[in-house]
Structure 1
């Protein structure tokens, strides 16, 4: 994944709005609590509180350009994942 700096005013106008305000990037983790705590300590902007979903633990955050990401630890389906 390459996030490149906008080179023109037209490109700059679209930064952070490529997905129309929706999450479109997913950061998978094998330790949600660890990575959430590290990201909080680093000043990452979270848009909600962490929540449990049938598919795993998840929280939405923004990067420096306003792109919305999910930090997600998928639900384990047993020893093989």
Structure 2
């Protein structure tokens, strides 16, 4: 069974660990990109072979999650220095600055900053 990658979220993405509670047959892990907000991510381990077959491809190769920042270049450079795998070079879009990166399991994320930020 695949493990939950807390260090990716805490060490490389700078998230804060909110909770890590073992439960019968599973582990309850909650992280947040900003401890001052109500935004949390619950990380769940695959419970069977069928679920394991989807690890890294939950969205069919599309971006799975979006991480908005108020300082794109600060966060991009920090993540890059920590070894986060980027799938492309940052680009300017009509809505703002964006780059796609992958977590340890191949799930794709967007790091982006709105032009209004």
Q: Tell me, yes or no, whether TM beats 0.5.
A: yes
In structure 2, the partner of 1:55 is 95
In structure 1, the partner of 2:81 is 41
Q: Distance in 2 between matches of 1:66 and 1:75?
A: 28
Larger relative contact order (CA 8 Å, sep ≥ 6): 1
RMSD: 1.0
Residue 73 of structure 1 deviates from its aligned partner by: 0.5
Give the counterpart of 1:7 among 41, 47, 53. Answer: 47
In structure 2, the partner of 1:16 is 56
Residue 65 of structure 1 deviates from its aligned partner by: 1.3
Q: Distance in 2 between matches of 1:18 and 1:28?
A: 20
Structure 1 segments of 4+ aligned residues over 2 angstroms from their partners: none
In structure 2, the partner of 1:72 is 112
More strand per residue: 1 or 2? 2
User: How many pairs does the alignment contain?
Assistant: 77
Q: Which runs of 5+ in 1 are unaligned?
A: none
TM-score after normalising by structure 2: 0.63
Q: Distance in 1 between matches of 2:45 and 2:82?
A: 22
TM-score after normalising by structure 1: 0.89
